[in-house]
């Protein structure tokens, strides 16, 4: 099933950030979101994940098929690597965590508490979590923060395997992920024009 996004307008804190966001993603395809700090990449991902409603436009995709990997890894600090992945797999009705452990080189760390992991190891575990959801669409916000070069390569391989299995990915990033086959959407030109309505919404008309 294709993911179709048409003429989306997204806002944060009552202020419109982006307008006219349109793209189509077919199974096996990835889209890289680019844009300067504050341009609205996270906000767009939140809308695609169903965490907030867009101000306008259409998202033609079942949001239940999406897994969202935000800046925070969402790990349970007291639980081991294995327990974290097993827990998330069970939430999604799955049980096999071995491919995720292998893909992110976590086997030697499987019994370590998540809270004891280094920043990069935590990030690897957070990304491994995407694999055990079994969901078709990965929505990833700056997935490579804290990763060393070898781990970025592992991540690119995992995304490629996901796409090869008919998955899709939308990834906000500032770095080159080593996925030249992915389409790129530059959000810079889609910056919303400032409207007085936005200032009304944001400040309750205090300046009027």
Should residue 35 be labelled a site residue for ligand ATP when binding is judged by CB under 6 A? yes
Distance CA 181, CA 170 (A): 13
**Residue 35 CB, nearest distance to ligand ATP (Å)?**
5
Running DSSP on this structure, what letter comes out for residue 164? Answer: H
Question: Which residue spans within 35-144 are E strands per DSSP?
Answer: 56-60, 66-69, 137-141
127, 131, 135, 137: CA torsion to nearest 10: 50
* Candidates 34-42, 79-87, 114-122, 161-169; binding stretch for ligand ATP (CB under 6 A): 34-42
Distance CA 8, CA 29 (A): 20
**Residue 46 CB, nearest distance to ligand ATP (Å)?**
8
Report the SS3 class of residue 162.
Answer: helix
Should residue 40 be labelled a site residue for ligand ATP when binding is judged by CB under 6 A? yes
Should residue 42 be labelled a site residue for ligand ATP when binding is judged by CB under 6 A? yes
Are 91 and 134 contacting, i.e. CB atoms less than 8 angstroms apart? no
If one counts every other C-beta atom within 10 angstroms of the C-beta of residue 40, the result is 26
* Candidates 12-20, 21-29, 50-58, 131-139; binding stretch for ligand ATP (CB under 6 A): 12-20
**Residue 199 CB, nearest distance to ligand ATP (Å)?**
13
Should residue 11 be labelled a site residue for ligand ATP when binding is judged by CB under 6 A? no
Cα angle 141-194-11, degrees, rounded to a multiple of 5 = 35
* Candidates 39-47, 93-101, 103-111, 146-154; binding stretch for ligand ATP (CB under 6 A): 39-47
Among 21, 41, 97, 139, binds ligand ATP (CB under 6 A): 41
Helices vs. strands in the chain: H and E counts, helices first: 6, 8
Should residue 43 be labelled a site residue for ligand ATP when binding is judged by CB under 6 A? yes
* Candidates 38-46, 52-60, 100-108, 109-117; binding stretch for ligand ATP (CB under 6 A): 38-46
* Integer Rg of the chain from CA: 18
Should residue 38 be labelled a site residue for ligand ATP when binding is judged by CB under 6 A? yes
Should residue 55 be labelled a site residue for ligand ATP when binding is judged by CB under 6 A? no
Are 98 and 169 contacting, i.e. CB atoms less than 8 angstroms apart? no
Nearer to ligand ATP, 43 or 121 (CB): 43
Site for ligand ATP, rule CB under 6 A = 12-13, 17, 35, 37-43
């Amino acid at each position: 099933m294709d993911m179709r996004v048409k003429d989306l307008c997204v806002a944060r804190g009552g202020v419109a950030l982006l307008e006219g966001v349109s793209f189509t993603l077919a199974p096996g395809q990835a889209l890289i979101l680019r844009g300067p700090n504050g341009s609205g990449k996270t906000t767009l991902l939140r809308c695609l994940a169903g965490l907030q409603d867009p101000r306008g436009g259409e998202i033609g995709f079942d949001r239940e098929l999406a897994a969202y990997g935000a800046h925070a890894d969402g790990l349970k600090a007291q639980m081991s690597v294995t327990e974290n992945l097993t827990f998330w797999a069970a939430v999604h009705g799955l049980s096999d965590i071995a491919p995720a452990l292998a893909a992110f080189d976590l086997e030697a760390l499987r019994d370590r508490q998540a809270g004891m992991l280094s920043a990069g190891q935590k990030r690897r575990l957070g990304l491994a979590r995407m694999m055990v959801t079994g969901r078709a669409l990965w929505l990833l916000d700056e997935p490579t923060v804290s990763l060393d070069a070898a781990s970025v390569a592992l991540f690119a391989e995992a995304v490629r395997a996901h796409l090869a299995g008919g998955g899709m990915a939308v990834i906000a990033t500032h770095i080159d992920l080593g996925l030249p086959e992915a389409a790129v959407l530059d959000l810079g030109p889609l910056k919303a024009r400032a409207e007085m309505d936005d200032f009304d919404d944001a400040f309750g008309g205090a300046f009027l």
